[in-house]
């Protein structure tokens, strides 16, 4: 397969009821991180740093344009500010597909930030972090 860009990506996110909703058309850009922790294990006898890889993590940040239609971005994320500690809707499945490759992870979203620009634009940003201890992996 040849190199390619991110054109044709799809983003599906669970709403508070656990139903996956395709919000691809509302997302204007996104960030995906799958970092690993590291532990410095350098002994006094070393001139360079020694490290061990630790646990895997996953983070996503979605940015988009406000869309109040049923099953679109606002409908999916509007409960983020009130879901903490409720036991319902706090963990969401995220599925990102690009170039025939899929990344699926369970996240907790920590904010649904809405911004009204001076030019009249109305956008949102939603960061999420790994929730269930399962290392994210592309398939």
Q: Total domain count for the chain?
A: 1
* Residues present in the chain in total: 139
- What's the CA gap between 22 and 138, in Å, rounded? 19
Instruction: Give a yes or no: residue 31 inside a domain.
Output: yes
27-33/59-65 β-pairing = antiparallel
- What's the CA gap between 86 and 74, in Å, rounded? 20
CB 71 within 8 A of CB 14: no
Q: What's the whole-model pTM score? A: 0.87
Instruction: Give a yes or no: residue 45 inside a domain.
Output: yes
Where residue 85 falls among pLDDT bands split at 50, 70, 90? low
Instruction: Give a yes or no: residue 5 inside a domain.
Output: no
What is the pLDDT, as a whole number, of residue 40? 97
What is the pLDDT, as a whole number, of residue 86? 54
Q: Write down the mean pLDDT value for the chain.
A: 92
Instruction: Give a yes or no: residue 1 inside a domain.
Output: no
Instruction: Give a yes or no: residue 91 inside a domain.
Output: yes
Find the mean pLDDT for residues 111-127: 96
Q: Given a cut of 60, is residue 71 above it in pLDDT?
A: yes
Instruction: Give a yes or no: residue 30 inside a domain.
Output: yes
Instruction: Give a yes or no: residue 113 inside a domain.
Output: yes
CATH number at residue 65: 2.40.30
Q: Given a cut of 70, is residue 96 above it in pLDDT?
A: yes
- What's the CA gap between 62 and 72, in Å, rounded? 13
Instruction: Give a yes or no: residue 52 inside a domain.
Output: yes
Where residue 1 falls among pLDDT bands split at 50, 70, 90? low
**Closest by CA position to 30, among listed 134, 124, 117, 111:** 124
The range of the structural domain enclosing residue 101 comes to 10-130
What is the pLDDT, as a whole number, of residue 111? 92
């Amino acid at each position: 397969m040849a190199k390619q860009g991110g054109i044709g990506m799809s983003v599906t996110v669970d709403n508070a009821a656990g139903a996956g909703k395709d919000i691809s058309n509302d997302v204007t850009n996104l960030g995906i991180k799958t970092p690993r922790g590291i532990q410095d294990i350098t002994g006094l006898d070393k001139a360079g740093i020694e490290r061990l890889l630790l646990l895997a993590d996953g983070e996503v940040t979605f940015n988009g344009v406000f869309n109040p239609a049923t099953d679109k971005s606002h409908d999916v994320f509007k409960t983020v500010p009130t879901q903490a500690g409720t036991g319902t809707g706090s963990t969401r499945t995220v599925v990102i597909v690009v170039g025939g490759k899929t990344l699926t992870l369970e996240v907790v979203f920590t904010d649904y930030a809405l911004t009204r620009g001076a030019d009249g634009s109305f956008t949102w940003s939603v960061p999420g972090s790994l929730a269930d201890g399962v290392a994210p992996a592309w398939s």
